[in-house]
Amino acid sequence: MKLCMVGAGYVGLVSGAGFAEMGNQVICADVDRAKVATLRAGRMPIVEPELDQLVARSVEARRLSFTDDLPSAIAASDVVFIAVGTPGHPDGSVDTSAVEAVAHTVAQSVRKETVLVLKSTVPPGTNQMVSGIVAKAAHRVHVVSNPEFLKEGDAIRDFMWPDRIVIGCAPGDEVAKDVMRRVYQPLCHERDRIIWMDPVSAELTKYAGNALLAMRISFMNEVALLCERLGADVHQVRWGIGSDHRIGAKFLYAGAGYGGSCFPKDVRALIHVGRQNGLELELVSATDRVNRRQRKVLLDKVRSSVGGDLRGKTIGIWGMAFKPRTDDVREAPAMALIEALVGEGASVMAHDPAGSDHALAKFGPRAKLARDAYEAAEGADCLVLVTEWREYHNPDFKRLKSIMRRPALVDGRNVWAGFGLREQGFVYIGVGVRGKRWHVNEFS
Ligand code: NAD
C-alpha cells in the first residue's frame, strides 16, 4: 500500500520506517526542511536505538523516502497518517493547530478516496473536528483514530510488537475498517492485536492509559516520602506490592518523577478535558501535583546534601534526557533541576550519553556539558543521578570519591541504593530508600 506519514518525529519516523519494513511504500512528509535534509542524507535527527538500521534498510530498498512537499505526498497515497506534535498550553489545553493544518492540506490535496489516520495524541473530539475539515475535499476522506503507544528508547519493539492496536472508526465505515485491518495485518499474524472502538473512545483511551501509568509513578513517589518518615524502604515495599499479579511490577519506581513529551502534557490535558466537561478529575489532578512536588523534593535533597545553600556550589548531573536511550529532554526532570540549581546560584556540569550543548543553551554559562560522566563529577560538591542510563549503574566509586570536592551523591533513581555507599564514606541520599548495603538473599 502507499502510505504517507505526516510528521517525521519520534512517532512518525519510527512508524513510517516500521510500515516500510512490512513492504509498504512509505513517504514521510515534514515541514521541517532541515530534518528532511538530514534524513535524505542518511542521518538520524533523533536518538532511538536501531532506528538508523531500520530506516537504512527500507531507504535502500526504495520503500521509504522523505519530502517537505506535503500536497504531493498526500495526493500519491492511499492512507495518510498524521503524526505531528500536539504540545500542551500552560492551562492544559492542547495545541492541535498542526493537526488542523495538515487536515486542511489533506482536504485540498487528495486525488482519490483516502483514509486519514490520527496517530498524534489528540483531545477527544478531534476526530470529529478533522472530519468536518476534510468533508470539503473533492474525494471521500475516512477519518480514523489510531493513537500510538510506543515509548522512546524501545520504540521499534513497541511499534512492531504492540500489546494492542487501538483503532477508532465511525460506526459502519467498512472502507476504513478494511484498510486499517490490512495496514496492521502484518502485526497481527501471531494474534489479533486490534481493539476496535468508536473514535472518541480511542482518543480517550490514549489519555486514560498515560494518566494511569503516571498515577502509579506519583503514587510510589508519595509512598517513598512516607517511607522516609517511617524509616521504611520503598524498594522493599515495591517488591512487596508489585508481586501481586493484580498490581504488577511495572511503573512502580519512586524517583525524580515522570517527564518527557507525553505524560506531563497528557495528564494536564485530561484534567483540562474533564473541566471543560464540568468534571474535576481528582486522581489525575493529584497525579500532576505530586509530580510537581517531586521536582522540589529532588532539589531539596541536593540542597541539603551541600549544607543548605547552593550558592557557589558545583553540582554534577548524570542524565539529561527524560529517560534512558533517548535524547528527548522535553519536560525532563533533569532540565527542571538544572534550571532550579542555576537559579539558586550553583554551577552545573551535566553529562548524558545522548546529550548535546543545545539542550543546555537556555541556562547560560553556569550550565555546561561534560564530555564524559567523570568530567561531570570533577570538583563537584554533589553528583545527582537523574536519568538511569546503564553506564551510570555501576561506576568506579573510588574514582568518583577522589575527583569530587565533596563525596555527596543524590540518587534520583535509587540505582545505588543497595551498594552501601555510606559505609564507603559517601553522603548518600536516595528517594525513599535506606541506602544500606543489601546482602545476598536478604529479601528471599
Ligand atoms: P516530534 O516533535 O518528535 O515530531 C513531530 C514532527 O511533526 C516534527 O518533525 C515537526 O517538524 C512535524 N510537524 C509539525 N507541524 C507539521 C505540519 N504542519 N506538517 C508536517 N509536519 C509537521 O513529536 P513526537 O514525539 O513524534 O510526537 C508526535 C505525536 O505523537 C504527539 O501528539 C505526541 O503526543 C504523540 N506521541 C508521542 C510519543 C513519544 O514517545 N514521543 C508516543 C506516543 C504518542
Q: How confident is the model at residue 444 (pLDDT cuts 50, 70, 90)?
A: very low
Nearest CA to ligand 1 atom 4: 9
One fold for both 2-197 and 208-429? yes
Ligand 1 centre distance from Cα of residue 152 (Å): 12
Residue 141 cell numbers, joined: 476522506
Q: Which residue has the cell 492540506?
A: 105
Which ligand 1 atom lies nearest to the CA of residue 155?
40
Report pLDDT digits (tens) over 87-131. 999 999 999 999 999 999 999 999 999 999 999 999 999 999 999
Nearest CA to ligand 1 atom 41: 10
3-state secondary structure of 162: coil
Q: What per-residue confidence (pLDDT) applies to 389?
A: 97
Ligand 1 centre distance from Cα of residue 429 (Å): 37
Which ligand 1 atom lies nearest to the CA of residue 151?
40
Q: What per-residue confidence (pLDDT) applies to 357?
A: 82
- CATH number (3.30.750.210, 3.90.110.10, 3.40.50.720, 3.20.20.70) of 2-197 reads 3.40.50.720
Output 434 or 193, whichever has higher pLDDT: 193
Strands (E), 22-161: 25-29, 64-67, 79-82, 114-118, 141-145
Asked whether residue 440 carries a pLDDT value surpassing 60, the answer given is no
Which ligand 1 atom lies nearest to the CA of residue 12?
26
Nearest CA to ligand 1 atom 27: 85
* Percent share of the chain, pLDDT over 70: 99
Ligand 1 centre distance from Cα of residue 49 (Å): 18
Q: Which of 6, 10, 38, 265 best tests ligand 1's pocket when mutated (most atoms within 8 Å of CB)?
A: 10
Residue 224: name the closest of 172, 158, 293 by CA. 293
In this structure, the number of other CB atoms found within 10 A of the CB of residue 142 comes to: 21
Which ligand 1 atom lies nearest to the CA of residue 102?
18
Q: How confident is the model at residue 309 (pLDDT cuts 50, 70, 90)?
A: very high
- Sheet of strand 25-29: strand arrangement: 64-67, 25-29, 2-6, 79-82, 114-118, 141-145, 165-168, 194-197
Q: Which residue has the cell 489510531?
A: 146
Nearest CA to ligand 1 atom 14: 84
Mean pLDDT across the chain: 96
Q: Which of 6, 11, 109 best tests ligand 1's pocket when mutated (most atoms within 8 Å of CB)?
A: 11
Which ligand 1 atom lies nearest to the CA of residue 7?
7
Nearest CA to ligand 1 atom 30: 120
Q: How confident is the model at residue 437 (pLDDT cuts 50, 70, 90)?
A: confident
Ligand 1 centre distance from Cα of residue 10 (Å): 7
Average pLDDT over residues 182-206: 97
Report pLDDT digits (tens) over 332-379. 999 999 999 999 999 999 999 998 888 999 999 999 999 999 999 999
Report pLDDT digits (tens) over 389-428. 999 999 999 999 999 999 999 999 999 999 999 999 999 9
Q: Is 382 a catalytic site residue? A: no
* Percent share of the chain, pLDDT over 90: 97
Q: What per-residue confidence (pLDDT) applies to 442?
A: 54
Q: Where are the domains of the chain?
A: 2-197, 208-429
Residue 6 cell numbers, joined: 505526516
Looking at CATH, the fold of the domain delimited by 208-429 is given as: Rossmann fold (3.40.50)
Average pLDDT over residues 249-253: 97
Residue 250 cell numbers, joined: 511495572
Q: What per-residue confidence (pLDDT) applies to 441?
A: 54
Ligand 1 centre distance from Cα of residue 149 (Å): 13
**What is the β-pairing status of strands 114-118 and 79-82?**
parallel
Rounded to whole angstroms, how far apart are CA atoms 195 and 240?
33
Using CB distances shorter than 6 Å, the residues near ligand 1 are 6-12, 30-32, 35, 70, 83-86, 98, 101-102, 120-121, 148, 150-152, 261-262
Nearest CA to ligand 1 atom 1: 9
Catalytic annotation, pick one of 4, 169, 227, 262: 262
Ligand 1 centre distance from Cα of residue 160 (Å): 19
Average pLDDT over residues 147-153: 97
Q: What per-residue confidence (pLDDT) applies to 246?
A: 97
- Phi and psi (nearest 5°) for 347? -105, 145
Rounded to whole angstroms, how far apart are CA atoms 59 and 39?
10
Ligand 1 centre distance from Cα of residue 121 (Å): 9
